[in-house]
Amino acid sequence: MKKKIFIIGSGFSSLSAACYLSKEGFEVHVFEKNDIIGGRARQFKSNGFTFDMGPSWYWMPDVFEKFFNDFGKSAKDFYQLKKLNPAYRVIFDEKNQIKIGDNINEISKEFENIEKGSGAKLKSFLEESRENYNLAVTDMLYKMPGKSILELITLKTIFKVNLFFKNIKNDIEKRFKDSKLRAILQFPVLFLGAKPSNTPAFYNFMNFADFGLGTWQPKNGFYDVVEAMTKIAKNQGVIFYTNSEINKIQVNKGLVEGIILNGKLKKCDILVSGADYYHTESLLDKKYKQYSESYWKNRTWSPSSLLFYLGLNKKIKGLNHHNLFFDTDFDKHADEIYTKPNWPTDPLFYLNITSKTYSHTAPKDHENCFVLIPLATNLEDNEAIREKYFKIIVKRIEDITGQNIEKNIVFKRSYCVNDFKRDYNSYGGNAYGLANTLLQTAFLRPKIQSKKVKKLYFSGQLTVPGPGVPPAIVSGKLVSDIIIKNERTF
């Protein structure tokens, strides 16, 4: 008889695990508390606008492609992808704006125009970054389930050991003098969830992901990826249950017995949880938890966010698909996220407009805007505060573009700390899990396999490899590999 695996949650890590485990012949059931599949990458449509609720930067297309190849498919079998040019616009003020092109030569020329000599320096920096990308993604990512330090020690990593002990901010500042170029080069590590000054220089491979591999966009938004993975899973027999919040994990003498759903025990042989790790442990009796409250309290969490989904009844000029409003102090905002957590005095923010690339994501001559302000976790969240920041960012967009926006808003929805907690059982309302700092890398992250409960496993952005969609997809593969190895009877 087939062994029965239950998976909690339907984010990218859970979808990935569901695909790999069902391919191996297990009977897989996925339980999702929300009414649609996709976790933080859910999508909603309203008044003719389509909004991805979470991820919007499609980076590292090779990781997506590898996933589909593992099932005899390619991304293009499921969705249309466009490489964006410009990849994004960085706004320092009305006049100082830099458009990042879709290839290294074009970007180097742009750098050279700003700082003499920086074009060549950028090329050599990206050569190093490409080497690190190949080492991190090709050689290490899929082979590091985070069990032991030995996974990190290879001939190639020994030569790179110094890059783990210096931070990326210093490394970039040694090479580039112009503050705009420094900010642009530090932007990609924000995806890892920590301050650049607290992120090892080895992670400069994200700069190659950015400039070398480019920024892509699926035709109907990021949700195209969720639908593609769900299709593979369903074709392999996976059964999905939405509106199904798991209230307890049942353990019998140290072995997983099943889950409690709507007050009833449902039995399984193996349990994987792709829900936030802290929440999953809260579903266990105290003696089965691996990590204490103080362990979680002392982690470096990725930011939470204040998000606005806005529909406009006109087109905005002078903006692109991805726009970074870096017109305020980067370091000050970072301190207000990590060092002295508080609502930011003068926030940086990000504005995404998918209708700039695919007009069908908004009604004709309309624009769909997604605004993200990164925030510390666990901040007080209420309507009045959200509205205060809404006014601030609308004014900034209006001042910089020289166009009226507020009176053209025909759709508006906000999303913040309380929503992350309520919708995803997210610790402190974090948006993308535990940051990748030196002390939260690889074997130093929460473990994929429970040390206290047999046949209980974890996937997702709080375990290995870390935050972001590509790592979440890899996490589903890593957990599946361990289960397959453990369950092999020969």
Ligand X SMILES: Cc1cc2nc3c(=O)[nH]c(=O)nc-3n(C[C@H](O)[C@H](O)[C@H](O)COP(=O)(O)OP(=O)(O)OC[C@H]3O[C@@H](n4cnc5c(N)ncnc54)[C@H](O)[C@@H]3O)c2cc1C
Q: Which residue ranges make up the site for ligand X (CB under 6 A)?
A: 8-14, 31-34, 39-41, 54-57, 245-246, 274-275, 279, 305, 307, 372, 424-425, 431-432, 460-461, 467-469, 472
To ligand X, the closest distance from the beta carbon of 154 in angstroms equals 26
What are the backbone angles phi and psi of residue 51, rounded to the nearest 5°? -125, 120
Q: How far is CA 367 from CA 76, 88, 157, 317, in A?
A: 26, 17, 46, 11
C-beta separation of 277 from 440 below 8 A? no
C-beta separation of 52 from 222 below 8 A? yes
Residue among 351, 305, 303, 347 at smallest CA distance from 329: 347
* Cα 450 to chain centroid, rounded: 24
Q: From CA 216, how far away is CA 230, in angstroms rounded?
A: 21
- Of 111 and 420, nearer to ligand X (C-beta) is 420
Residue among 162, 201, 163 at smallest CA distance from 185: 201
Task: Tell me which residue has tokens 């490899």.
Answer: 465
To ligand X, the closest distance from the beta carbon of 355 in angstroms equals 17
To ligand X, the closest distance from the beta carbon of 350 in angstroms equals 9
Give the pairing type, strands 304-312 and 409-415.
antiparallel
Give the pairing type, strands 27-31 and 239-241.
parallel
- Of 68 and 424, nearer to ligand X (C-beta) is 424
- Of 275 and 379, nearer to ligand X (C-beta) is 275
- Of 44 and 159, nearer to ligand X (C-beta) is 44
- What one-character-per-residue DSSP string does 288-332 give? G--S-HHHHHTS-BPPEEEEEEEEESSPPSS--SEEEE--S-HHH
Q: From CA 13, how far away is CA 8, in angstroms rounded?
A: 10
- Of 31 and 176, nearer to ligand X (C-beta) is 31
To ligand X, the closest distance from the beta carbon of 259 in angstroms equals 8
Task: Tell me which residue has tokens 């005095």.
Answer: 345
Q: From CA 42, how far away is CA 53, in angstroms rounded?
A: 5
- Of 140 and 225, nearer to ligand X (C-beta) is 225
Angle of CA points 210, 153, 458, to nearest 5° = 70
To ligand X, the closest distance from the beta carbon of 286 in angstroms equals 18
- Of 118 and 430, nearer to ligand X (C-beta) is 430
- Of 355 and 425, nearer to ligand X (C-beta) is 425
- Of 119 and 196, nearer to ligand X (C-beta) is 196
To ligand X, the closest distance from the beta carbon of 415 in angstroms equals 8
To ligand X, the closest distance from the beta carbon of 338 in angstroms equals 17
To ligand X, the closest distance from the beta carbon of 393 in angstroms equals 15
Identify the three-state secondary structure at position 241: strand
To ligand X, the closest distance from the beta carbon of 174 in angstroms equals 28
